[in-house]
Chains A and B, each alone.
Chain A
Amino acid sequence: MLNIITAFHVEAQPLIEYFQLKKLVEHNVFETYRNDEQSISLTISGLGKLNASAAVIYSASLKPISKNDCWINIGIAGHPSIEIGTAILANKVIDESSHQNWYPQIVFDTDIIKAPLTTVDEPTANYPSGSAVDMEASGFLSSASRISTTELIHCLKIISDNKSCSFKSLNKQKIKAMIQDNIHCVTDILSKLENLTTDAQDSKIIMDIYQALIDPIHFTHSEKNKLKKILHKWNALMPDAMPDLNYCIGLKNANKILNYLSENLNKHPVSFQ
């Protein structure tokens, strides 16, 4: 699942519209939206790194955690020199007050500009040299990196102010338009991250056999995991001769089935040719 965290509703709105997200009315600690396919979630954190950190944990708590979940913090940021309306992807995030650093691993090719990003506690017009500046990224990363891996956690910021154009001149319409104009950056990252997390899916034949065994016979949670692993191995070694389902069910016992499958698997010669 792609999990988006924005600070404000105005930053979220173009994303909600583009991805056709619907509000989860029963979860309202932080306003959260999902698409019908349950593949994209968006949570609005409010201003600041503490809120961002809490919003990540809240969003993660609403569903089973997967190591393949992607997390993106999207919002506006200042930068001393980058042109307003330009999207940047953070390749380093510095927490100004704690001096802690994060290094999001951008392992995909993208045309989006990469830049360091400094998270500050108060709005500022003093832009750190060569770095974008925001108020959420470090809090977002401190929580998200407990849940997923650094290759799948990113901060996408749209430059909203710089030395020649103060953040004081921003308004909701401008912010909304900046996000809207950069939706293609979000979809670009999304597709790249999807490619990274495409694990071998459980094939239909494996899942059919798995289901046919666990429906009539009691398997504990760990036995179910073991069964799935064995079936995957079986499929890798003997894709043309899957286990005899009737014989397995006839054994009437999870342990006996697992032993039978393991023994047969171990007998099969391994050949790399």
Chain B
Amino acid sequence: MFNRLYMERGIATDPLVRQICNKFANLDIIECDHYSEVFNKKAQNFRIQKTSPGLILAKKNNKFINPAPPEYGIGGDKNFYFSYMLNCIYDCRYCFLQGMYRSANYVLFVNYADFLNNIRKVCENHSDKTCHFFSGYDCDSLAMEPVTGFMQYLLPQISGISNLVLELRTKSTQIRSLLAMPPIDNCVIAFSLLPAQLAKALDHKAPDVNRRLSAIRKLQANGWKIGLRIDPLIFDSNMETIYEEFFADIASQIDTKNVHSITLGTFRLPSSFYNTIAGYYPTDKLFLSPLKNANKMVSYNEDIKKRLLAFCYEQIRLYFEDNVIYPCEIIPE
């Protein structure tokens, strides 16, 4: 999984650090003072590093909980995100992490209790509001669970917080630990999905869509709340057929009456991230699509965006109730 392991000197005796180091006992452990010494160095190439990322074990000291971007939301009064890990084991071509970070190494913040305490504090500070927390903004929430055990630690502890909803965003089929525990009522396992043809071209190293749907079925059968994240919607000249079949396929494979929420949004990236990523893959079809750059965001041309959103929205409505659909963009009339 990794060929090198970095560790902040100050956490050498932390039990989780010891556990992870023992698990990868064949690796040399490289000590550093602070993870940023390795992770934030300028002279790094994300693409080359992605061929074989290392794991950096670190302690987070501040900014445990951040306000979520305004378009994030599935009905909560207050939206937050947190990142106990930076970077993802998958290599999705549209992923903004490639543009945001110089390093493809994974950073795992091992002070889980500090995340939990800060989540509790935020919920207490907004006790009259529903607080939604999104995990999976800077990493996949479940893909590294066998190594991190973060969700195994967190989920039982948050189940009693009445004004909290936690979303775990994932493409992973690492659901064993979830199936081994009773479902947590205020937790939504949200799967990112793309039509199989598009996922094959773009979701590198991620489980194929059928395996994700199979994981959803198992979780539903065990009583877990499920979210579907149809984001990004990707333009293809044959998009109507592709997405029509895609939504029909989803509906045929999972319990559509038992879906907590569905979000959808078209492919978009901050232009600085886009420039970096398109520089890595100048001839990838994703970046040859009809895109425009406006207000420091790169997205599809307006007519394509409207067509894609409107079509997919209508398709989703064929199978799901309106009150579970949360578009990240305004659906054209």
Q: A105-B49, A150-B44 are in contact. Are A273 and B288 (CB under 8 A)?
A: no
Return B55 CB to nearest CB of chain A, in Å: 13
A233 touches B197 (CB 8 A): no
Q: Does B156 contact A (CB under 8 A)?
A: no
Residues of A within 8 A of B234 (CB): 272
One of A12-20, A46-54, A263-271 at the interface: A263-271
Question: Is B237 close to A, CB under 8 A?
Answer: yes
B287-313 near A? 1/0 per residue, CB < 8 Å: 011100000000000000000000000
Chain A residues within 8 Å of B22, by CB: none
CB–CB B237/A233 < 8 A: no
Closest A residue to B194 by beta carbon equals: A272
Query: Chain A residues near B53 (CB, 8 Å)?
Result: 107
CB-CB under 8 A for A103 and B49, given A271-B238, A272-B285, A273-B236:
no
Q: Which residue of A lies closest to B105 (CB)?
A: A105
Is B328 positioned at the interface, with any CB of A under 8 Å from its CB? no
Residue of B whose beta carbon sits closest to that of A146? B43
Q: In the complex, what's the smallest C-beta–C-beta distance from A108 to chain B, in angstroms? A: 7
Asked if A60 lies at the interface with its beta carbon under 8 angstroms from chain B, I say: no
Among residues of A, the one whose C-beta sits closest to the C-beta of B28 is A114
Q: For the complex, is B223 an interface residue (Cβ under 8 Å from A)?
A: no
Please pick, from A101, A109, A151, the residue contacting B3 in the complex, using a CB distance under 8 A: A109
Interface centre among B43, B53, B285 (most CB of A within 10 A): B43
Interface residues of A in 73-128 (CB under 8 A from B): 91-92, 101, 103, 105-109, 114-116
Contact partner of B283 (CB less than 8 A), chosen from A67, A107, A200, is A200
Contacts of B28 in A (CB 8 A): 91, 114-115
> Are A106 and B282 closer than 8 Å at their CB atoms?
no
Report whether B41 and A235 are in contact in the complex, using a CB–CB cutoff of 8 Å. no
Inside 8 A of B198's CB, which chain A residues have their CB? 272
Q: Are the C-beta atoms of B38 and A271 separated by less than 8 Å?
A: no
Instruction: Judge whether A196 is part of the interface by a CB distance below 8 angstroms.
Output: yes
With A106-B3, A236-B288, A272-B202 as given contacts, are A149 and B238 in contact (CB-CB < 8 Å)?
Answer: no
- Known: A150-B44, A236-B284; 10 extra A-B contacts, CB below 8 A, are A91-B28, A103-B30, A103-B32, A107-B3, A114-B4, A114-B28, A152-B45, A229-B282, A232-B282, A272-B202
30 contacting pairs across A/B (C-beta < 8 A): A91-B4, A91-B30, A92-B30, A92-B32, A101-B37, A103-B6, A105-B105, A106-B3, A107-B3, A107-B52, A109-B52, A114-B4, A145-B41, A145-B43, A148-B43, A149-B44, A149-B48, A150-B41, A151-B45, A152-B48, A153-B43, A196-B48, A197-B48, A233-B282, A236-B285, A237-B285, A237-B288, A269-B237, A270-B236, A270-B288
